[in-house]
Amino acid sequence: MKKPVFTLSVPEYQVKFYSDTKEKMSHPGTPWYNIEIPVIYWKNRPDFASIGDKMDQCLKKHFIGQKVVIRVLSSEEHTDKSMDDLIEIILQTGHDRYNPNRQGNQYENIENKHIDIFAMPFEIQQEGTYFEYFLEPFYFFPIAEDKKPVRVDIAIIYDPKQLAVVEHHYKGRENETKKDGFVFKYPDKKAEAILGIIKITG
């Protein structure tokens, strides 16, 4: 049975690219993970709290009280695919990693463990906050590397009973055990692990 796709319009969620990024501010001026952010990006950052809340309402409407695993991504990073094309691939394959040779498609860890997807587990509660904490790193981390900020527009909602956590460590963070890696328990039934997809339009 084909899994549901919920379309959510969030026209206020826009990220802009600026060429003049010489003036930077760092912590405590930029209280976000102690990284340097160009002033123009900091002053013109989206309202992550209100935008995330709007996305949270969609999530709660369809998955309240459920334990889920959420993976978010940007269709813009798949330059040869439209958003609808990418969603169709995800529905068919169970994930967005359709090309093993695609740059940025691998998850590096010092143990070299196999990881199918990077995602986060949650139990969806009415008072919970979820998407805000996905949107911020997609915006801030690319900027810190002098890249274009990323707008999240697809969220894949997975059934945690069909996934297994892969504990791992990142280089430079060996003392921190990460639990954000997952493999599919049933590799021949990956698409069945999807509970639904949220499509975020402008």
- The DSSP string of the chain is -PPPEEEEE-TT------S----EE-TTSS-STT--EEHHHHHT---HHHHHHHHHHHHHHHHTT-EEEEEEE-GGG-TTS-HHHHHHHHHHHSSS---TTSTT-S---TT----SEE-EEEE--TT---THHHHHHHHHHHHHTT-------EEEEE-GGGEEEEEE--TT-TTS-EEEEEEESSGGGGGGGEEEEEEEE-
The tens-digit pLDDT sequence of the chain (202 residues) is 789 999 999 999 999 998 877 777 655 556 666 778 888 898 899 999 999 999 999 999 999 999 999 999 999 988 889 999 999 999 999 999 877 665 444 456 666 778 899 999 999 999 999 999 999 999 998 988 888 999 999 999 999 999 999 887 767 666 777 778 899 999 999 999 999 999 999 9
Q: How many domains would you assign to the chain?
A: 1
Interstrand relation of 194-201 and 154-158 (parallel, antiparallel or unpaired): antiparallel
For 15, the domain range is 5-201
